[in-house]
Amino acid sequence: MSAPADTAPAAASFPYEGPEQLREPLTAALSRVVDPEISMNIVDVGLVYGVTVDAAMAHVRITMTSAACPVIELLMDEAEAELDKVVPPELLIRVELVWEPPWSPERMSAGAKRFMGW
């Protein structure tokens, strides 16, 4: 299976609180993080649960499709590295792994569902 042809940033499918001018760059950064097991970005897969940006921090909540996911640390590290490229230098970056609510295929974008044949 190859990755979907559409390489444009996925439409944000997660709650966002923060400066409007950072919404698109943060979404684009997270869209560059690809889950190597399914060759799709974490935004399209629905792994990003929310982004909050305040005066001190960019806080991103992500999950995995399974607690047994062998690439948890890789995805979290890549998310932080991509965010570091777009987050203003005065802000801390926190990528938090959460398990509630549990991930389900309904969180996937329409393009991701098509790619998976759903």
Per-residue pLDDT band at 12 (split at 50, 70, 90): low
Report the distance separating Cα 66 and Cα 76, nearest Å.
14
Is residue 3 scored above 90 in pLDDT?
no
Fold observed for domain 16-115: GMP Synthetase; Chain A, domain 3 (3.30.300)
The whole model's pTM is what? 0.87
Q: Can you give the pLDDT at residue 43? A: 96
113: three-class secondary structure by DSSP: helix
- Cis bond leading into 4, ω under 30°? no
Per-residue pLDDT tens digits for 47-105: 999 999 999 999 999 999 999 989 999 999 999 999 999 999 999 999 999 999 999 99
Sequence spans of domains, the chain: 16-115
